[in-house]
Amino acid sequence: MIRSINNPKHQALIGWLRSVREDRGLSVRDLGKILDEPFQLIHKVEKGRRNLSAHEYVQYCEALGVDPKEGIDLLESSNKK
């Protein structure tokens, strides 16, 4: 099991979350307000300094209005390469 937040697959998932946030026109502060979390948490996640639990990942996706399965599909497709 790979646990590193520096793993390329993890970085791809976080990159996807960041691009969804940016596509929605949300700043890290905006997303922090939606999640009722300090914006620093969003910044740390996106910079790879903090990991998300499965529950946090789902909440993050819901706040962005995206299906969490899309991110899982991204991870699964990278496994096939």
Q: pLDDT of 24-35, one tens digit each?
A: 999 999 999 999
> Domain 24-79 adopts which CATH fold?
434 Repressor (Amino-terminal Domain) (1.10.260)
CB 69 within 8 A of CB 57: no
Alpha carbon distance 17, 47 (integer Å): 12
User: How do the domains of the chain map onto residue ranges?
Assistant: 24-79
Residues with Cβ within 8 Å of 81's Cβ and at least 6 positions away in sequence, in order, are none
Alpha carbon distance 52, 17 (integer Å): 12
Eight-state DSSP code of residue 50: S
Lowest mean pLDDT among 26-30, 52-56, 59-63, 76-80: 76-80
Summarize the confidence of residues 37-52 as an average pLDDT: 94
